[in-house]
Every structure is written in structure tokens, then in C-alpha cells.
Structure 1
Amino acid sequence: MKVEKISRLQLFYLMTGFVLGTAMILGLGHEAKQDSWIFILIGMSSSLIIMAVYTQLASYYPGDSLAQMLPKLLGKFLSYPIILLYIFHFTYSAARGSRELGELIDSTILSETPLVVIIGSFMALMVYCLRGGVETFGRMAEIVFPIYLFSLILIWILLFSVDQFSLKNLTPILGNGVTPVLKKAVPTAINFPFGETIVVLLFFPFLTHNGPVRKICMSFLLVGGVLLTINSIMLIAILGPEIYNFDLFSLLSATQMVSVADFLERFDALVILLMVSGVFFKVGGFILAAAIATSHLFKLKQTRSVVLGLGTIIVPLSSITALSYVEHLEFGFKFYVPYVHTVLQIILPILFLCIAFIRKKLGSK
């Protein structure tokens, strides 16, 4: 495989955008209503422990991606089906992200355009960008993310001008106690979006300087979590907990209420552009992780053809997985996130770390 390198700053931009990604479209903790920001903080805090597992595992096998370290951990025959499982997970997650963006575009600015055309166009752009590999993706993140962050802060400033803005909508805080919020947050808030950062295990070998990566990983989780928390507080303060609970695109709905002196209005395009940028990070990270894992599994020298193949699969996959957007969300949050994510992003990595620790102890003796 061609030697490609990204800096730690590029990895930080890429992964912070990845954390925000589709979470900006879907919102987080709707079922927790006015306590959704606490829901996010619980997920972020718990995910720091999971990230410690990921980084410790990587420290046992420096220079190896997840697909390279598993054969050393589990042996050739046992590791192959698990790697294939992760490849499918990354591919399907990319398809889900594409579907969510497609539904957003379809319900707002391109209501007469078939969903498959919207997703296909986005995927063509995605494949074109990712054929350059990790290095190109990292450079794009370095350019796009600061603009993304500036646009997000600008939207928050505009939201302060909405007449309905009231922090009283955040009360009562923990009105039913902390236990109901904990039950909702664990493991859902850990798995989405924070646990999905397991893809970073595929990017570690491309860092320019080998060494401890825990600090940079904790940083993008903290920054991403704080930004999502602030966004949740802003939306609840405007929409109220009840509307926030049922609104499919809460950030867009809140921004549509902005009117500065009855002159500056209709900032929908800015929000949609912001969300497209976030999905670019999320879907791009998943596709690239799947492509790297596939290349390592089958000992390919490049990822360009793999990215093209994955893009071809993702377009129909995103369309056939659910008949409607409501069904798509229901399957995701009631089955895929609480069960599949928990196994692949929490249980298996902890098991891998235990095996690596035992192997290290036995090897030292």
C-alpha cells in the first residue's frame, strides 16, 4: 500500500468532524427531553473510558491498524470473520449516514428529486474525494473543519435572536432523578456517536509521528462532546423539550425561526451546508476505515478500487435498508445502536485488550 501520512492536527479535525457528523442531523437524547444535554455528557464521559481501551490496545501493537493487529491477537482463521464483521459495520454505518443526509435534502430543498439520485450524487462526490486516500482526506479536513466550526458558532449566535429563546425550557433539571437518564444514556449515548470513533484504530498507522495518541483522542472526544452539548442546550431553549423530542431535524427547525430585524431570514441553506459537511466527515471516515481494513485483509497495495467498490454498494444499501425514514430511525436506535454497536465497539475491544494484556505478560515471562 502507498505510504500516506497525516498530522495529529489533521486527525483531530477529521475525528472531531466525525463525532459531530450525523449527530447534528439527528440530534441526541431526544427521549431525555430537557435533560438531553446531560444524556450527551454521560455518553462523552463514558466514552473516554472506551477510548482508553482503544488507545491501550493500539499501544500494544504500534504501527498496526485494527485489521493488522487482530491476526496477531486471535490467529489467522479466527480474526478473518471478525475483520469482515467490522468491514460490514463500517459499510452499513456509511450507508445509514448517507440515507440520513438524503432524507434531509429530500425533505427540504430537493423534494421532487428521487432519494437514490441524491444519495448517488453525494456518493460520487465522496468517492472522488476519498480516492486520494487518507492523506488527501486529512488535508480536506484541515480546510473544511475550521469553516464548519465557524458556521456552527454563527448559527448559535443567530439563535440568540429568536424571541422564543428561554433557558427555562431546560428546567426541571433531572426532575425524575438521575436514574432514568442513566438508563437511556447507557449504552446508547456511548455507542452513538462516541463509540463509532473505533474507526480511529484504522488511522493510527498513518500518523506522521509514532508515539502516544491518547491525548489527541481524548481531545476530539471532549471537543466533540462539548459542541454537541451546547447545541442541544440551544435547541431545547428555543424549541422546548416536547418539540425537541419529536422533531426529526431540530437544528433546521430552530434556525428557520431566526429573523433579524425582519430582514435577515431563511438561513436554511447554511444549516444544510453545515450538515452536508458533517456527513462528509462521518461517511468519509467509515468508508475509508472499511477500505483500509479490506486492503489489509486481502493484502492489496491501494484503497482506490476498494473505495469505488464500497461506494457502488452503499448507494443501493442505503435505499433498501428501510422503507421509510421513521423505520430507518427505529431500526437504528432500537436494535443496531444498542446491540450491534455494543458488541463491536465496547465488548469486543475490551476482550481484545484482555487478550493482548495476557499475551504481553506471557511474552515477557
Structure 2
Amino acid sequence: MKQTKISGLQLLYVMVGYQLGTAMILGIGPQAKQDAWAVVVIGMFSGLILMGVYVKLAAHYPDDTLVQIIPRIIGKYLSYPIIIMYIFHFTYSAARACRELGDLLTSSILISTPNVVVIGFFMVLMLYCLHGGVETFGRMGELVFPVYIFSLIVIWILLLTIEQFDFNNLSPILGNGVKPVLQEAFPQNINFPFGETIIFMMFFPFLKSKGKVMQLSMTGILIGGMLLTVNSIMMISTLGPEIYKKEFFLLLSAARMVSIADFLERFDALVILLMVTGVFLKVGGFTFGAAVAITQLFKLTSPIVILLPLFTIITPLALISGTSYVEHLEIGTKIFVPYFHTVLQIIIPVLLLCIAFIRKKFNLGNSR
């Protein structure tokens, strides 16, 4: 994995696609029903605050990744268990995203194909891309992102032709009260997908224009949040709040309802391509972050030696993340996101920023 540079535009493309990734497969705020779009909006603005924390923290040590920053702030020995937790977070999150894509494909177009084959081939492509370094990954984002957005807009336009499409499905606004919206937003939607952008602290040192980190990051959160908001509105208007709450693969189910003159229909392939692209950027982000983190923690010569071991870990980890897709989702929503995500994506970064601010203010120096 060559340690080259990534341009600001490439980082923006990757960041937006990364947020859309599995969020397009899973949907956001199902328990809020017709108010799910409000959950996304709250998550987006909370994500802007979190990103501000990440960028400010990175600004204290502009040449260091998150894994290099932690020892500088709290010392070498205290940092070890925290860094290991982040490595686990990145690796396990990559595995979960692979599992979600695998279940989507094997339940829709590759019905007779074992999940291990789908996930295995996907990871081979992923590792081939990452072998070229962050610049290759950034160029991949630059290449596929315009196609991704164009395909998404085409699907939204097609949904407008469905007879069942009705914006009245969005009403009554807050018909179930504010509580379901807040329960879905805190901490679930803040952490997923917006809090997961902490992975980009592993990308910031490789950015060509470091002076634009704040601008690029905030723009990425805003664009990703607005696209997810519009997508939630389109899904609720098409499927209705009750189906939105229960359906596993929302965008795929909505696209299957499209039928124009009994001729243009079954847009499954377009939706699958869209989702594969988004998950590719998400898994790539997590895998890159894990590889660099392991390399820096153990002072290895190059992250390239970590890629094959990561492949052998992520693939089986994806398969054992749940005995079924339902169990996989329950582990994520009831354990992994509310506990691990909250600690690693909210609590620890805020504490690190506070300590870094105190060190700078009183000129206490670094703990490395």
C-alpha cells in the first residue's frame, strides 16, 4: 500500500459515498416511521458538531493520524488499549458492512450463491484496490461517485412514476410525538453513519491541501446528510411508514415497484450496483484505517503486509457477525452502535480534544 496523497475532491467523494454506503441498505430511523427524515436531519447536524471535534483534534497534530495522536495526548501506555479498541472498531465495522452487502446480494440476485463466496470475492477486489494506496482508493471514489449520484437520482425520478407514491405518507409530522424521533437519533443515528466518519482522521495526514480539511469535512457531512434525508422522504412516500419500519432492504423494495408501460421494470441491477459501490467505499475506508492503525501501532514498514491478514480476519468475521441477518442487525442496533460507537466516536474524541486544548493552553508539551 503506497502512502501517496489524496486530493480534496477525492476525499469529499469518498466521504459522501462512505456515509451513504450501508445506510442506503439498512435505512435510517425505522421506528420513527413517517418522521424518519427528521431523524436524519438531527443526525446530520449532530454529525457536523462531531466532525468539528475530529477536525479540531486533528488540527493540533496535522501530520498525525488518530492512532498517532492518542499517544501524544495521553501517553504511550495508556494509549495502547484505546488504539486496540479503534483497530477492532474499524475491522469489525468493515466486516459488518460486508455481511450486509452479502445478505443483500444472496437474497436478491445471487440466491444460490454462498455468502462466503460473495464476501470473499468482494474483499479480493477491495484489497486489490487498496494495494495501490490511498491515492488509488481516492481515484476510485472520484471515478464511481458521479455514476453513483446519477444512478440514485434516476431511481428517485422513477419512484415518482409509481402509482402508490404519495407525499401524504409523510404526515402527520411528529404524529407519534417527539420521543420516537429523539430515541432513534440519540445515539443511533448520530453514530451511524455520521459518527463513523471518525475514520477520516486516518485520511487527513494524506490530504494534499490540509488547510481545507474543515471545509471539505463539513461539506461532506452536509451533502451526505441531505442525500440521506431526500432518500428517506422518497422511501416513506413510496412504501408508507409501516413498510418503511419493517422492510430490510428499502431501496431495493421500492425500485421493484417501478413499472413504466409494463415495459421498463425490475431495476434491481441498478440498485444493486448502487449499493455495491457505496459499500465498496465504506469497507475501503474502514480497511484502510485498520491497516494504517496496525502498521503505526506495531511500527511496521508498510501497511501492505497487513492487507492479507486483514482479509483473512474480515471475511470470517463477517460470516459470524450473526447466525442470521436479523440477529446481525440486533447485535448492531442494541450492542455495537449504542455502546462501542458512543464511546469511540463521541466520548473519547471529546475527551482527547479537551486534554489537547489544556496541554496547548498551558504549554504542557506532548506525552509521547
TM-score, length-normalised on structure 2? Answer: 0.97
Deviations 1:246-303 (A, max 9, x none): 0000100000000111111110000001000010011110000111111111122321
- Return the alpha-carbon distance in structure 2 between the equivalents of residues 155 and 58 of structure 1: 38
- Return the alpha-carbon distance in structure 2 between the equivalents of residues 315 and 90 of structure 1: 14
1:256 is aligned to: 256
Query: CA shift at 1:212, angstroms?
Result: 4.4
Q: Which amino acid aligns with 1:276?
A: V
1:92 partnered with 2:77: no
Contact 2:169 2:240 (8 Å CA) reproduced: yes
1:107 partnered with 2:107: yes
Spell out the pairing of 1:330-349 with structure 2 (5 A cutoff).
Answer: 330-349=330-349
Spell out the pairing of 1:30-49 with structure 2 (5 A cutoff).
Answer: 30-49=30-49
- Return the alpha-carbon distance in structure 1 between the equivalents of residues 189 and 274 of structure 2: 22
2:140 is aligned to: 140
- Return the alpha-carbon distance in structure 2 between the equivalents of residues 65 and 36 of structure 1: 34
Q: Which amino acid aligns with 1:230?
A: V
Spell out the pairing of 1:135-284 with structure 2 (5 A cutoff).
Answer: 135-284=135-284
1:8 is aligned to: 8
Query: CA shift at 1:57, angstroms?
Result: 0.4
2:305 is aligned to: 305
Structure 2 SS opposite 1:213: helix
- Return the alpha-carbon distance in structure 1 between the equivalents of residues 146 and 176 of structure 2: 39
Q: Which amino acid aligns with 1:322?
A: G
Query: CA shift at 1:309, angstroms?
Result: 1.4
Query: CA shift at 1:313, angstroms?
Result: 0.6
Q: Which amino acid aligns with 2:23?
A: A
Structure 1: gaps of 5 or more residues: none
- Return the alpha-carbon distance in structure 2 between the equivalents of residues 206 and 142 of structure 1: 16
Query: CA shift at 1:45, angstroms?
Result: 0.7
Q: Which amino acid aligns with 2:176?
A: N
Identify the range of structure 1 (35-44 vs 182-191) with the bigger mean alpha-carbon deviation.
182-191
- Return the alpha-carbon distance in structure 1 between the equivalents of residues 296 and 209 of structure 2: 21
Q: Which amino acid aligns with 2:131?
A: R
Query: CA shift at 1:364, angstroms?
Result: 7.4
Structure 1 SS opposite 2:34: helix
Q: Which amino acid aligns with 2:144?
A: V
1:322 is aligned to: 322
Query: CA shift at 1:80, angstroms?
Result: 1.6
Structure 1 SS opposite 2:164: coil
Query: CA shift at 1:2, angstroms?
Result: 4.8
Percent identity, please. 64
- Return the alpha-carbon distance in structure 1 between the equivalents of residues 211 and 281 of structure 2: 25
Deviations 1:160-207 (A, max 9, x none): 110100001101001133233112211111000000000010000001
Contact 2:8 2:212 (8 Å CA) reproduced: no
Deviations 1:210-246 (A, max 9, x none): 3241111111101001000101100110100001100
Structure 1 SS opposite 2:121: helix
Q: Which amino acid aligns with 1:135?
A: E
- Consecutive aligned runs of 4 or more in structure 1 exceeding 4 Å deviation: none
Change (3 A) 1:162 1:340: same
- Return the alpha-carbon distance in structure 2 between the equivalents of residues 104 and 3 of structure 1: 33
- Return the alpha-carbon distance in structure 2 between the equivalents of residues 3 and 313 of structure 1: 23
- Return the alpha-carbon distance in structure 2 between the equivalents of residues 146 and 231 of structure 1: 17
Contact 1:59 1:212 (8 Å CA) reproduced: no
- Return the alpha-carbon distance in structure 2 between the equivalents of residues 284 and 24 of structure 1: 17
Query: CA shift at 1:71, angstroms?
Result: 1.1
1:291 is aligned to: 291
- Return the alpha-carbon distance in structure 2 between the equivalents of residues 244 and 210 of structure 1: 41
Structure 2 SS opposite 1:192: helix
Contact 1:2 1:301 (8 Å CA) reproduced: no
Change (3 A) 1:352 1:35: same
Structure 1 SS opposite 2:42: helix
Deviations 1:114-157 (A, max 9, x none): 11111111111111111111111001100011111111011111
Q: Which amino acid aligns with 1:343?
A: V
Q: Across the two proteins, how many residue pairs are aligned to each other?
A: 365
- Return the alpha-carbon distance in structure 1 between the equivalents of residues 287 and 128 of structure 2: 12
- Return the alpha-carbon distance in structure 1 between the equivalents of residues 253 and 86 of structure 2: 35
- Return the alpha-carbon distance in structure 1 between the equivalents of residues 215 and 64 of structure 2: 19
- Return the alpha-carbon distance in structure 2 between the equivalents of residues 135 and 79 of structure 1: 29
Q: Which amino acid aligns with 2:308?
A: L
- Return the alpha-carbon distance in structure 1 between the equivalents of residues 5 and 35 of structure 2: 41
Deviations 1:291-333 (A, max 9, x none): 1111111122321121221111101111112100000001101
Structure 2 SS opposite 1:186: helix
Q: Which amino acid aligns with 1:274?
A: L
Structure 1 SS opposite 2:292: helix
Q: Which amino acid aligns with 1:241?
A: P
Q: Which amino acid aligns with 1:275?
A: M
Contact 2:2 2:131 (8 Å CA) reproduced: no
Structure 2 SS opposite 1:351: helix
Contact 2:102 2:115 (8 Å CA) reproduced: yes
Identify the range of structure 1 (12-21 vs 209-218) with the bigger mean alpha-carbon deviation.
209-218
